[in-house]
Amino acid sequence: MRKPIIVFVAFGLFSTLAACDNDFERGAVGAGAGAAVSVATGGSIGTGALVGGVAGVFCDDLGICG
């Protein structure tokens, strides 16, 4: 029961990346979302945070968010 809630919250956090004003904010939200998803799926928290943070920083540059 806990995993679906964590995944739902993580996607909610990830969807707020478009509302962030700069790369630092997008990176922080992305890292939190990546860590939450990795916990929910049984992966490494550090790896999830790293991947999520990088995705958050570069999503605006790639035209994915915002």
Q: Tally the domains of the chain.
A: 1
Instruction: List, for residues 19-66, the tens digit of each pLDDT value.
Output: 677 888 888 888 888 888 888 788 888 998 999 889 888 888 887 776
In a domain, 37, yes or no: yes
In a domain, 66, yes or no: no
Rounded Cα gap, residues 40 and 25, in angstroms: 23
In a domain, 54, yes or no: yes
What is the per-residue pLDDT for 24? Answer: 87
Rounded Cα gap, residues 56 and 3, in angstroms: 22
Provide the residue range defining the domain that includes 13. 2-59
In a domain, 65, yes or no: no
Split at pLDDT 50, 70, 90, the class of 11 is low
In a domain, 64, yes or no: no
What is the per-residue pLDDT for 50? Answer: 92
* Average pLDDT value over all residues in the chain: 79
What is the per-residue pLDDT for 14? Answer: 60
Nearest of 31, 27, 28, 37 to residue 4 by alpha carbon: 37
